[in-house]
A and B are shown apart, each in its own frame.
Chain A
Amino acid sequence: MTPMNSEQRSSVQRGAAQPGASQPGADRLSQTVDMAGATSTRHNRRSATGWILLPAIAVLLVFFFYPLAIIVWRSFTEPAIGLDNYTALFTDGVSVTVLLRTLRTALIVGVATLLIAYPYAYAMTRVSRRMRAVLTVLVLLPFWTSVMARNFAWYLLEQRGGLIDRFFSAIGIDGVVLLGSVTGVTVAMVQVMLPFMVLPLYSTMSTIDLRLMDAATSLGASRPKSFARIYAPLSLPGVVSGFSLVFIVTLGFFITPALLGSPQQSLVSQVIETRVGDLLDFPGAGALGTVLLVVTLVVLFAVSRVARPATALNQAVDRA
């Protein structure tokens, strides 16, 4: 579900919840306090909710926002106050290349996982309950395996003389060694990222009433057309959340590129690691991290616009 959609829904709910018609438990309470103003009870309830959130907010503040602020701060102030670190990024001839390579990889991984996961998630909504359990376990299996174990498995598959190399040799194509290439990293990341795509897709698709497809065909739309006009738009929220999840996680993925990639074709996370670990260039690494964060936020924003209310999209299509 996109942020805009949930916002819309909650505003509808708020509109529908007239005083007295709200939650049954709170009915009597709000009726007695009505004279004093129903707003005050609502306010009290909200501040109670605030207390529940306190631990999470504290953890986020201390362990996420504080370090993040330090990183951003240092990227602007060290060694001298100004934009030096950022101008360096765009002029050193490497960082921009790495950034673009990372974005392209994330895009490819996002699209590839979508293409694989969409039919899979759809199948999950159509099969018997037992088969669905099997398919769910298959998706979750990678989650239960250690990240290192999974990446080493790909290492073994992709290395010289590994299974992939031998397979292609057997059919007459020699020297297919994916290890150390962006392709090798991409292939492994697609597999690692699949659950992040399948689960949001499935949770959206399982809410789509399959009778709608019957209705669409009875009204004169062929199966492909019914899919395009009805099913695809209704599954769009799942596509958007799955794609953004995979895209963003891929942008900052470290272990897979570090293990299966190479310094010659490194991705952003590897460069950041090198700067921090080997060059002790904290401000430079911070600047690169900040740029990555901004790019991520821009992409998230753009994606949420695209998938906002499906109706707006349809109206645009119809108007065109």
Chain B
Amino acid sequence: MNPSRSHGIRISGVSKVFAGLPRPAVDDVSLDIAPGEFMTFLGPSGSGKTTTLSMIAGFVPLTSGSICVDGKDISGLKPHKRDLGVVFQQYALFPHLTVAKNVAFPLQQRSVPKPEIRTKVDEALALVGLSDCADRLPRQLSGGQQQRVALARAVVYQPRALLMDEPLGALDKKLRDQLRKEIARMHRELGMTFLFVTHDQEEALTLSDRIAVFNNGKVEQVGTPTELYERPATLFVAQFLGESNVFTEDGDERKFVVRPERLDLHAGPDSVPDGHQRRKAVITEVVYVGNHHRIGLRFDGGTEGSAMRLAGAPLPAAPGEPVIASWSPSHQTSVQGG
């Protein structure tokens, strides 16, 4: 399949108010998705990420704001005129049509000539590795296979972007990992703009070019996975994306966070490097997680936190014993909120 021309999506001041709900489901969200970008909406359930996707797809009308694809406002268009591909959590394959007929459906709607439909369907099924399932019915396939058919169906007509609403949510762990890799590969091969909605931070971190973190209908922060993980702007982002040790600046209300793997633990003050920040703590537990130990800490003042040691590295102290946690100031990040 040829890489399709890429298209950008611009969301400007979009809000959605559902009648009878106290606060907007989506509250003045503005985002720019670059052509060919893999953008992920990450957030807990009820944070507005799926509603935003539904508004882009056209299933839910906007209360205010606008959505543009390639600079053209599409917020007034019916869903079938938007030329976007959508993949749903529950596959949404047509149960009475074979796999090939499902994938052919969008092409038939576009009056593509029959021979061309056949080649494109074959190509799309080959892309997801299901060429020999063309004549089966959806219910004869596993969940993972069904979702791959749904992916093939959503990209076969080279839509302007592919929107995915928790596409891995209904699958078990192993299939999820497998399909995640396939989605990454499809993005590389197709060069299409991908918009991916998930509540799973691991999916978000491993797949995305950029992530928009949603909370309470608002976007907390947009950035690359590294930016979000290393430099979270808000306490919510710091805690939703990975683990964080949260500290309060002395004589100040401002908070800053340090990631567990950035903490050094010392039995005594002598070994703390010059220029490092430090806090006294007590080890509460040591949990073996295979390739590393997660070390639970209680800092002076009672805050809970954690540090990480690779498997094989010696522990400075045993559970119940005091330690000194230190970190380089370059690894601490001031956050808002909380």
Contact = CB atoms under 8 A, between A and B. Distances in A.
Interface of A: 209, 211-212, 214-223, 225-226, 229-230, 233-234, 310-311, 314, 318
A310 B138 CA distance: 14
B231 interface: no
Contact of A219 (B78, B109, B137): B109
B109 A311 contact: no
Contacts of A230: 94
A89 to B, nearest CB: 42
A215 B86 contact: yes
Interface stretch (B1-9, B98-106, B168-176): B98-106
Contacts of B110: 220
21 contacts: A209-B90, A211-B88, A211-B90, A212-B92, A212-B94, A214-B57, A214-B79, A215-B94, A216-B105, A217-B79, A217-B80, A218-B57, A219-B105, A219-B106, A220-B80, A220-B109, A221-B80, A222-B78, A225-B109, A314-B101, A318-B101
Q: How large is the interface on B (under 10, 10 to 19, 20 to 34, 35 or more residues)?
A: 20 to 34
Contacts, number: 74
**Do most interface residues of chain B lie in helix, strand or loop, or is the interface mixed?**
loop
B92 to A, nearest CB: 4
B59 interface: yes
Nearest to A309: B96
**Do most interface residues of chain A lie in helix, strand or loop, or is the interface mixed?**
helix
A314 B78 contact: no
Contacts of A214: 57, 59, 79, 86, 88, 92
B96 A314 contact: yes
B166 to A, nearest CB: 12
A221 B96 contact: no
Nearest to A229: B105
A17 to B, nearest CB: 15
Given A218-B154, A226-B80, 10 more contacts: A209-B90, A214-B79, A217-B59, A219-B109, A219-B157, A234-B96, A311-B97, A311-B137, A314-B97, A314-B101
Interface of B: 57-59, 78-80, 82-86, 88, 90, 92-98, 101, 105-106, 109-110, 137, 153-154, 157
Find the residue from B84, B90, B95, B98 having the highest chain A CB count within 10 A.
B95
Nearest to A313: B96
A222 B80 contact: yes
A44 to B, nearest CB: 31
A214 B88 CA distance: 10
Given A211-B88, A220-B83, A310 B106 contact: no
A218 B90 contact: no
Nearest to B104: A318
